[in-house]
Amino acid sequence: MTTAPDDPATALPGRPPVVDLATWQKARDELLVREKAHTREGDALAAARRRLPMVELDGTVEVVGPDGPVPFPDLFQSCDELVVYKHMWHDGAPHQGQCEGCTTTAWHLKDAVYLNARGVSFAILTTGRWDEVAPYVAFMGYTQPWYSVRDVPPPVGGDMGYLTCFLRDGDRVFLTYRTTGRGNEPVNGSLSLLDMTPYGRGEAWEDNPEGRPEGRRPCWYWRTDAGGNATWGPTSRPVPQWTRPGATPVNTLGRHGDHH
């Protein structure tokens, strides 16, 4: 059956217009031109990143891991490059009270085997005390190395919520790049997949056609209750935590000192 756009006989309210395959392919090909231009601009930005200058840092600074303090250069292992994610931390908060955005980002970085194959090491840094961080890492089932950078000066310590890149040349260590906010999105493949769907991420800032589900505030679905309902209420957890052993409903959110 050939269907014209907005044909009242086939239109579905709040859904994309129903058309025949040829019409859909034409629209898809037009969008592909823009997508390819976007890809090429992304390649140009990546090339510009590779041309940024770098900053030398104190290679003797120590971070704390499962075996105690270690020199920061040890995080490179046998690699010349290192990518770290800086995970925010709420002192004294229970597992469900830790940063939902950082939990989501770290969850998408569970395995660095492909980075390792390209000569890049990966680690997660946080300002939490190691005695609090270690049980959290065990609860989440993380396989990547974690280290505490409490009281460590920037750029190894400092502000959290950043993806940061370092380069090693012998005993010398350099900061080459860092990003935060939406700059962290490339590691979260779920967001990219949601961007391909007709309803998108369901966030208020998105430009959606009239009649689509109403968007809510950014990151509104990073926490849910046990039934999968988006909520920041006292029985919520960061979404990835619901797949972990022992992730049952809780009595307090436990964030920002509001825990007991």
Alpha carbon 243 to its chain's center: 17
Whether 152 maps to a domain, the answer reads yes
The reported pLDDT for the residue numbered 219 is: 86
Whether 220 maps to a domain, the answer reads no
The whole-number average pLDDT for the span 239-253 is 87
SS3 call for 232: coil
pLDDT tens for 214-224 read: 888 888 899 99
The whole-number average pLDDT for the span 217-233 is 90
The reported pLDDT for the residue numbered 197 is: 95
pLDDT tens for 72-120 read: 999 999 999 999 999 999 999 999 999 999 999 999 988 899 999 999 9
CA dihedral 243, 248, 249, 251 (to 10 degrees): -130
The reported pLDDT for the residue numbered 6 is: 56
> What domain range is 107 assigned to?
55-179
The reported pLDDT for the residue numbered 44 is: 98
Encoding tokens for residue 6?
Answer: 């907005």
Q: What is the CATH number of the domain that holds 142?
A: 3.40.30.10
The reported pLDDT for the residue numbered 260 is: 30
Report whether pLDDT(257) > 60: no
Whether 249 maps to a domain, the answer reads no
pLDDT tens for 161-206 read: 999 999 999 999 999 999 999 999 999 999 999 999 999 999 989 9
Q: Considering its fold, how many domains does the chain have in total? A: 1
The reported pLDDT for the residue numbered 216 is: 87
Total count of residues recorded for the chain: 260
The reported pLDDT for the residue numbered 3 is: 53
Q: What angle separates helix 130-140 from helix 100-107, to the nearest 10 degrees?
A: 50
What's the whole-model pTM score?
0.90
Whether 5 maps to a domain, the answer reads no
**Dihedral sign, Cα of residue 143, residue 247, residue 147, residue 223:** positive
Whether 218 maps to a domain, the answer reads no
The whole-number average pLDDT for the span 117-139 is 97
Cβ atoms of residues 222 and 104 within 8 Å: yes
The reported pLDDT for the residue numbered 1 is: 46
Q: What's the CA gap between 116 and 230, in Å, rounded?
A: 36
The residues, ordered by sequence, that sit 6+ positions from 252 with a Cβ below 8 Å of its Cβ are 94, 97, 234, 258, 259, 260
Whether 79 maps to a domain, the answer reads yes
The reported pLDDT for the residue numbered 215 is: 82
131-135, 219-223, 255-259 — most confident range = 131-135
